[in-house]
Structure 1
């Protein structure tokens, strides 16, 4: 009941300020003030204020918030302890479980397929590789590099 009266008083004050603002020919600001000042009355009429006051003034609700805060602190303490002890990798290595040191050991090799990775056995193929480099060298000399 008291919250409904306070919300009605706040809305009435806001509407009064909006009227004064409209009298000063600032209509857009007056419309915004009127919109903001009607919110408390609307919340009272829909029952949201009664729900909020029931939520705030009940001791069991505050106890529930305390339990949630304790749970969050325990999660944070567990993460801090896990970081300090070295985490899961050291525990896995200490237990003797096989762990992956490298995700993809052949990742530095180009993905050209098995046919192109093999080195050519004949000397003629090696000469074509030198020709490729000579072309590149010619291009670089042409540009003065």
Structure 2
């Protein structure tokens, strides 16, 4: 679950409503977008599905994520359950992921829209921070100590 939020910024609602049939060919098919899953996410989902199938082999519930309570029915897990399992609200992980991706894409709002299913207005809010004065200086200041120059005349 955390990998889906951290890598692909899924919302709590998307986590709750995803069905096992939404996973196909290394992709997650959501109502608003199709997500090409990163390799580490695919590995974690495969491990979870093995666990899910061994723990609840006869569940009628089509949702990807199950709890002891929902495994006997067909309803999705709750937002509270998701946040408890993650140890932090899913939305906080998602909000933390978006600025990092905005910076990594050089402030490309279209890419943010495609990756995370955001509107153009929402993507612009995240990408507008990329060109803010002081960001480069802040990143340089907090990157850790610079390597010391060599004194042996090499390099």
Flag whether TM exceeds 0.5 (same fold): no
TM class by smaller structure: under 0.3
Normalising by structure 2, we get a TM-score of 0.26
Higher percent of residues as helix: 1
Of structures 1 and 2, the larger Rg is shown by 1
Of structures 1 and 2, the one scoring higher in RCO (CA 8 A, sep 6+) is 2
Normalising by structure 1, we get a TM-score of 0.27
Higher percent of residues as strand: 2
